[in-house]
Structure 1
């Protein structure tokens, strides 16, 4: 497994993917000096999916175009609304197209050969596509992903044999940004190659040659609008160029989440929202392969709208797609109404990836409730204990650990105190994590850590903390996600302390002991 802790932090020699593109394409003139000329030249002959395929690499593309009947009716849409179902690719997303193309073009040019190491920064879908191709062709693959991306992507990637490096978000251009880390790895690993989908010309060309061409073939060239989510912008650029060449009056609509900066004009990106939960679309920089000159209109989309429309695609149309598909659909519905589309007109919306990667996220009601995208059922919020304060619970001041003590010392404290969770404190006495018996058991039994390692290597860094005035309803939601919650006390104005102090740990047992007693008994206990 690659170790990023030993990488040089210097960015010298690294060309980030926001540099000016070298492509000279324009709608009125094709420039032969373009590094990758836009002359329709698919890399392989189309293979009928009704016959035996040579390998899974021949199964990508030719995805169905499906009419959205119930959604169109419920939204009062009279034009034909069609979904290009890219989640039906073998790897589960539209990124299979660019994965096959980028690897095969690199092989064709001699940039990679058997035995080389492939590297890519990814939000997951390109990584899955590359891992699928690498598994078939026998390449080692290292992927750098943000820790915000879904766990399901990890599981699939590991099954395909990829090595995964998870990193926290960092400003673009810094050495800790996930794209920079991928380039730093490539610089130090012999015989390695980074595709860099954000500036790789074969990204857009793959969609120019296949996705855009298929839409024209499937519609008989009769398409009035195409709606595409923007991420690396390879799909947007490639499909838009092909469509505009053949159907110049067709509207190209792009969808970008609030918190991203891709939309045009730039003022669309203004506002207080600086982050987003939807995966696979949106960026904090302008990819070199992006061409915004042929987009007729941009729409910004809230996470909530995208996730709710994705659930609608699943529930109403039976299309098992991901969250960015909902964002694209929400944008399509707005565009159809803004452009006043009606009978006899046709809109195609691209659904990029599948439900598989998000089973613990927008598909899950609890996750949607916790993020504020769904309302809590009334039967929960009307329970007698829901609005009671945390101070109603009985708990003692917990033992605590310092982050630098060893795992062996932590184990002894678990035994002495008879507890399963112990807060880990920083140098100012503020909580920086939680040590858990179950997590430590898992990591020690699988040789991930040893007794001499500091507890900071095994502590859980994500935890929820409540003051005494917090409600038991809030605590119940936290205990649904984890097996514990911390109780804290903020420093007083006259205190020399600057950070909140942990004064208790709430476990499921503490909570159950309270809510299982009838209200009459609880009232008697607190009179």
Structure 2
């Protein structure tokens, strides 16, 4: 005998399950189409997964542009960040390390199993250590001992030999760059990467410029970047201006660096927020990997139209602002770049599109730039709240 009550109960249960499934499906559609930005939803739905790459090296480059909503809304411009922290080595320096290693292998300077050396504040070293491991080479990194300790730990975890040195002038034989150069000279078959003067750095970023042009469909008014070696701003500026010479290239220069005055006045000398004059200590900044007090071969090749100054206070506040409002956890050089993008947007006025570089993430800066205790020592604890940009001063 058929249990009609049982059938009825089963039918009701099935109907309830279908209704729940339909309700959930409608919720997902509503969430994607109504609650999330339409541009995000559409891009996610239409995005095609890329083909597999041969190795970790194939994942370098072709990083996305991220619309920084808070900065865009506050300035009336479209401010986009090139998400270089999504490279497999975690920074924009992956591109440079790959190009240097590829070129030296192709020329025969570097042989499989050989040694590549560099002096760096951290990110280039991490990228070189990763790329060297991927091609079967070894890596030696000399770095200042006041750089964030997690960078040295990461380098060691990647298999690099690391030497930490006291900060000294570039003219001193114990400067990390000079120590790395000497190690290469003393080791048969070794190659000194020489990221500051090696124009492979610039050449790597011609591709970055072309990517930005394609991602913005050529609708770009300004590119903003700091300079650590000068390679990023040189390569991107050359790449973009070859496509449209009217694109403005703006240098974002931190306190303690000389490049702002080189661009604006033609003379290298440093600036400090508090003193407003030449410093006895030209490295008086908490930012790492950005700013120069000499003219490198890479920066000399940059096509820069203007420059803005960025104080430590502005950089620290910007890093906290982007995490609070956009969920972006960035390093100090990326924060400098975003301050520069806001200043460029104010100078251009609403309705323009500006691209900057999100060089690396905040995880490499936990012991310094993102450490409350460290910031408190220098009276740099972030105090700004909300979405306003009053903490960004004049250019």
TM-score bracket, shorter-length normalisation: 0.7 to 0.9
- Which aligned pairs between 1:289-304 and structure 2 lie closer than 5 A? 289-291=298-300, 294-304=303-313
Q: In structure 2, what is the Cα distance between the partners aligned to 1:185 and 1:243? A: 37
Offset of residue 293 of structure 1: 5.9
CA displacement 1:111-158 (0-9 Å, x = unmatched): 110121111111111111100011112211100101111111111111
Q: In structure 2, what is the Cα distance between the partners aligned to 1:66 and 1:201? A: 28
Q: In structure 2, what is the Cα distance between the partners aligned to 1:146 and 1:224? A: 37
Any idea what SS the aligned residue of 1:61 has? coil
Q: In structure 1, what is the Cα distance between the partners aligned to 2:83 and 2:288? A: 17
Q: In structure 2, what is the Cα distance between the partners aligned to 1:269 and 1:167? A: 23
Long gaps (5+) in structure 2: 1-47, 272-276, 384-395
1:101 alignment counterpart: 99
The question of whether the paired residues in 2 share the 8 Å contact of 1:172 and 1:284 is answered with no
The question of whether the paired residues in 2 share the 8 Å contact of 1:49 and 1:59 is answered with no
Offset of residue 237 of structure 1: 0.3
Q: In structure 1, what is the Cα distance between the partners aligned to 2:180 and 2:149? A: 20
Shift of the 347–212 alpha-carbon distance from structure 1 to 2, 3 Å rule, reads: same
The answer to whether structure 1 residue 349 and structure 2 residue 353 are counterparts is no
- Which aligned pairs between 1:266-277 and structure 2 lie closer than 5 A? 266=267, 269-270=270-271, 271-273=277-279, 274=282, 275-277=284-286
2:41 alignment counterpart: none
The answer to whether structure 1 residue 215 and structure 2 residue 212 are counterparts is yes
Any idea what SS the aligned residue of 2:76 has? coil
Any idea what SS the aligned residue of 1:269 has? coil
- Which aligned pairs between 1:263-342 and structure 2 lie closer than 5 A? 263=260, 264=263, 265=265, 266=267, 269-270=270-271, 271-273=277-279, 274=282, 275-291=284-300, 294-339=303-348, 341-342=349-350
2:186 alignment counterpart: 188
CA displacement 1:407-444 (0-9 Å, x = unmatched): xxxxxxxxxxxxxxxxxxxxxxxxxxxxxxxxxxxxxx
The question of whether the paired residues in 2 share the 8 Å contact of 1:71 and 1:316 is answered with no
Q: In structure 2, what is the Cα distance between the partners aligned to 1:144 and 1:98? A: 17
Report the structure number with the largest CA radius of gyration.
1
1:372 alignment counterpart: 379
1:60 alignment counterpart: 60
Aligned length: 324
- Which aligned pairs between 1:453-464 and structure 2 lie closer than 5 A? none
The answer to whether structure 1 residue 84 and structure 2 residue 82 are counterparts is yes
The TM-score, its normalising length taken from structure 2, stands at: 0.79
CA displacement 1:152-198 (0-9 Å, x = unmatched): 11111111100111111112222122211111212212221101011
Offset of residue 290 of structure 1: 1.4
Q: In structure 2, what is the Cα distance between the partners aligned to 1:306 and 1:292? A: 26
1:418 alignment counterpart: none
1:197 alignment counterpart: 195
2:135 alignment counterpart: 137
The TM-score, its normalising length taken from structure 1, stands at: 0.59
CA displacement 1:4-25 (0-9 Å, x = unmatched): xxxxxxxxxxxxxxxxxxxxxx
Any idea what SS the aligned residue of 1:222 has? coil
Q: In structure 2, what is the Cα distance between the partners aligned to 1:124 and 1:184? A: 19
Shift of the 218–304 alpha-carbon distance from structure 1 to 2, 3 Å rule, reads: same
- Which aligned pairs between 1:110-509 and structure 2 lie closer than 5 A? 110-208=108-206, 210-263=207-260, 264=263, 265=265, 266=267, 269-270=270-271, 271-273=277-279, 274=282, 275-291=284-300, 294-339=303-348, 341-343=349-351, 345-374=352-381
Q: In structure 2, what is the Cα distance between the partners aligned to 1:139 and 1:268? A: 39
2:3 alignment counterpart: none
2:393 alignment counterpart: none
Q: In structure 1, what is the Cα distance between the partners aligned to 2:302 and 2:147? A: 30
CA displacement 1:303-359 (0-9 Å, x = unmatched): 1211221222222111222111111111111121123x212x211111111112011
Q: In structure 2, what is the Cα distance between the partners aligned to 1:49 and 1:145? A: 38
